[in-house]
C-alpha cells in the first residue's frame, strides 16, 4: 500500500469536499427508475485495477470472468477454471483474470433484489452501485487496490459475496446500502453503520464503522436538508441475531476480516431520495467512504457515533439467499 499517496488523497478529498455548495432541493431531478425486469448483467464496470493475466493451475483466489463478473476460483480442469457463481453454483469458465486488493467494496442488492425503492421510484441497488464506484475510484487513486463483489445490475447472494471476500483476503470490507422505514425526523443525518460483534475482527470492525460514520455524516451535514429521516438508534452499533451471532450475513460470514455495513440514509424519505439521486452527492458520499477507509488503514483513529445496539434479534428479514436466483452471463 502506498501510504503517502493515501494520506495525500485524504487531505485532497477533505479539502475539495469542504468546498461543495449546499444542495438546492427544489431544483433537484432524480435519476430515472430502472425497470424491475429479470435478473441480468448490465454493462460491467471494471472489477479491479490490480490484476494479473496468467494463472497457475493451482490458483485459488478472486477473479473476473470475461463478462466482468467477480467470482472465487475454487478449482481447475482441462476445460478451464471452476468458479463459484453469484447464485452459489459452481461452473467451469474457459478464461479468467486474477484479482487482488486491499479492500473489498460490496454494493448491496442487485437485479430483482432491488432493496428499498423510494417514493420517486429510485432503486436502492442503483444508488449503492454509484457510491461504490466513486469510493473505488478514490481508493485506487490512492494506490489502494479494490475488488468489488458486484460489477453490474445482477443478483448475488450473501454467501457468494462472502466467498469473494475469503478469496481476496482483504484488510477491510465495506458493504454499501441505503435505508428505508424511518420512524422519526432529526436535524442531523440518520446514517447507520453496523459492525461485527463476534469474532477476532470485531474490535477493528467497530473502529472501521466509526470512521465511516464520522466521514459520511460530516459530508451529508453540509447539504441543505432541514429534516433527516432516522430511527431511534441511528449511529454506529452491532446487531445480533437470536443466537447471539452477527445478524447481517455479510458481517457474520466475513468474521476475521474487519467489515462494516453502511446505511447512508433513507431513500424512503423523498427529500433524501432526491439528494442521493444527484451524481455529485453520490460522488461526495463515495469519497467520504474512501476517506474513512484510508483513515482505517493508515491511522489509529477510533471514529465516532457509537450508540447502544437495538434489540431486534427477532427480525426475520428475508433476502440474500439463492432461491430462484438466475446467474448473469459469465463468458
What's residue 321's pLDDT?
Answer: 86
Q: How far is 269 from 271, CA to CA, in rounded Å?
A: 6
Question: Is residue 273 predicted with pLDDT exceeding 70?
Answer: yes
Give, in words, the CATH class of 3-16+100-298. alpha beta
Q: Read off the pLDDT of residues 92-105 as tens digits, 9 standing for 90 and up.
A: 999 999 999 999 99
DSSP conformation letters of 194-209: EE--SSTTHHHHHHHH
Mean per-residue pLDDT of the chain: 87
Question: Is residue 73 predicted with pLDDT exceeding 80?
Answer: yes
Mean pLDDT value of segment 270-287: 98
Reported pTM: 0.87
CB atoms within 10 A of CB 27: 7
Report the chain's C-alpha Rg in angstroms.
19
Q: Read off the pLDDT of residues 113-153 as tens digits, 9 standing for 90 and up.
A: 999 999 999 999 999 999 999 999 999 999 999 999 999 99
Question: Is residue 239 predicted with pLDDT exceeding 50?
Answer: yes
Q: Give, for 29, the enclosing helix (H) or strand (E).
A: none
Kindly provide the b/e burial profile for residues 111-122, where b requires at least 16 CB atoms within 10 angstroms of the residue's own CB. bbbbbbbbebeb
Nearest CA among 321, 49, 307 for reference residue 195 = 307
Amino acid at each position: 500500500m502506498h501510504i503517502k499517496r493515501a494520506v495525500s488523497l485524504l487531505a485532497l478529498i477533505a479539502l475539495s469536499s469542504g468546498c461543495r455548495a449546499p444542495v438546492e432541493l427544489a431544483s433537484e431531478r432524480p435519476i430515472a427508475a430502472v425497470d424491475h425486469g429479470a435478473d441480468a448483467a448490465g454493462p460491467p464496470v471494471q472489477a479491479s485495477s490490480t490484476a494479473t493475466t496468467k494463472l497457475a493451475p493451482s490458483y485459488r483466489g478472486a477473479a473476473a470472468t470475461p463478462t466482468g463478473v467477480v467470482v472465487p476460483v475454487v478449482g481447475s480442469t482441462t476445460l478451464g477454471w471452476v468458479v463459484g457463481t453469484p447464485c452459489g453454483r459452481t461452473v467451469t469458465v474457459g478464461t479468467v483474470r486474477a484479482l487482488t486488493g486491499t479492500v473489498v467494496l460490496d454494493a448491496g442488492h442487485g437485479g430483482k433484489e432491488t432493496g428499498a425503492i423510494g417514493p420517486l421510484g429510485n432503486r436502492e441497488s442503483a444508488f449503492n452501485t454509484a457510491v461504490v464506484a466513486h469510493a473505488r475510484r478514490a481508493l485506487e487513486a490512492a494506490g489502494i487496490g479494490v475488488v468489488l463483489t458486484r460489477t453490474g445490475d445482477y443478483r448475488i447472494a450473501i454467501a457468494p459475496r462472502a466467498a469473494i471476500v475469503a478469496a481476496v483476503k482483504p484488510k477491510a470490507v465495506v458493504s454499501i446500502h441505503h435505508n428505508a422505514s424511518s420512524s422519526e425526523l432529526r436535524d442531523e443525518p440518520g446514517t447507520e453503520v453496523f459492525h461485527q460483534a463476534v469474532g477476532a475482527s470485531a474490535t477493528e470492525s467497530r473502529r472501521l464503522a466509526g470512521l465511516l460514520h464520522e466521514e459520511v455524516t460530516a459530508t451529508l451535514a453540509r447539504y441543505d436538508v432541514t429534516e433527516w429521516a432516522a430511527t431511534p438508534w441511528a449511529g454506529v452499533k452491532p446487531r445480533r441475531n437470536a443466537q447471539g451471532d452477527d445478524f447481517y450475513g455479510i458481517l457474520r460470514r466475513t468474521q476475521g476480516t474487519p467489515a462494516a455495513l453502511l446505511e447512508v440514509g433513507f431513500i424512503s424519505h423523498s427529500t433524501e431520495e432526491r439528494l442521493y439521486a444527484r451524481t455529485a452527492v453520490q460522488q461526495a458520499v463515495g469519497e467520504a467512504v474512501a476517506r474513512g477507509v484510508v483513515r482505517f488503514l493508515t491511522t489509529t483513529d477510533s471514529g465516532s457515533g457509537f450508540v447502544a445496539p437495538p434489540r431486534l434479534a427477532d427480525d426475520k428479514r428475508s433476502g440474500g439467499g439463492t432461491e430462484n436466483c438466475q446467474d448473469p452471463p459469465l463468458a
